[in-house]
Amino acid sequence: MDLSILADNLPYLLVGAFPDGPLGGAALSLVLALASALASAVLGVALGVALTLATGARRGALVVVIGFFRAIPVLMLIFWTYFLLPVLLHADVPGLAAVVCALSLVGGAYLAHSVHAGIRAAGDGQWQAGLSLGLTRWQTVRHVLLPQAVKIMTPSFVNQWVSLVKDTSLAYIVGVPELSFVATQVNNRLMVYPAQIFLFVGVIYLILCTALDVAATWLLAGRRRGSPRGDEASRATAAQPASGGPR
């Protein structure tokens, strides 16, 4: 297998036409993944908390909206955002922004249920402890439940972010020059080295996903080492309403 073709095209596969042109290749895939992961995390936490606090018709509406974005294919949502956002905003929307928007909506919808489940997993006793201290339901979620739910939610977040890394390859469909797009360009130009080129693409995605998984494992291990103190604080918080009383 002749790997010299990779050496000749390595800069283009890694950064696209940068610095003489726009950023592309693996670097743009990483930017897409990071932006989508951050936006989906913010959206997922907001929707998950709203799902926890909402009742009645509002909760039903949230469930329908979240279910809608979980159900539709990512590729279709990319098309929708790419063609509908300019119509709705009456302005040109770059393909990069459309893809980040689509991936964030899908990721946020999935993470919303992870956040909701993590909050519920903290237990009804923590709810009662927060309310007994005079906190509102929102303050109880923010200061008591969410900090405890982070460890529970982390594996689900990592799993969704790994999916986002792979989903960035769909950005080629709207002309965003990410890794799959530039690899296809190189392959179309050469026509005789598809195995080397797309093997390299697979290795890059493997490195990105493995790095994310290792970082999450390290983070969880660090939290477990520091968990006894956090558990003692949680027990102390839960015990305060019982020990306190009118004076």
Name the pLDDT band for 1 (thresholds 50, 70, 90): low
Mind listing the pLDDT tens digit for each residue in 103-154?
999 999 999 999 999 988 887 788 788 888 888 888 888 888 888 888 888 8
Instruction: Flag whether 247 is in a domain.
Output: no
Say if CB 129 and CB 95 are below 8 A apart. Answer: no
196: which 2 tokens?
């080397």
Name the pLDDT band for 232 (thresholds 50, 70, 90): very low
pLDDT of 233 reads: 40
Name the pLDDT band for 212 (thresholds 50, 70, 90): confident
Number of other residues whose CB lies within 10 A of the CB of residue 186: 23
Q: What single-letter DSSP state applies at residue 91?
A: S
Instruction: Flag whether 161 is in a domain.
Output: yes
Residues in CB range of 164: below 8 A, 6 or more apart: 33, 36, 37, 40, 103, 107
Domain that holds residue 75: 4-242
Closest CA to 106 of 52, 167, 175, 48: 167
Say if CB 49 and CB 62 are below 8 A apart. Answer: no
Element (H or E) spanning 24, and its range? Answer: none
pLDDT of 204 reads: 93
pLDDT of 114 reads: 92
Mind listing the pLDDT tens digit for each residue in 152-199?
888 889 999 999 999 999 999 999 999 999 999 998 888 777 888 889
- 235 has which bridge partners? none
Say if CB 157 and CB 114 are below 8 A apart. Answer: yes
3-state SS, residue 20 = coil
Name the pLDDT band for 19 (thresholds 50, 70, 90): confident
Q: What single-letter DSSP state applies at residue 21?
A: S
- Domains in the chain, number: 1
State the CATH number of the domain containing residue 44: 1.10.3720.10
Instruction: Flag whether 130 is in a domain.
Output: yes
pLDDT of 242 reads: 38
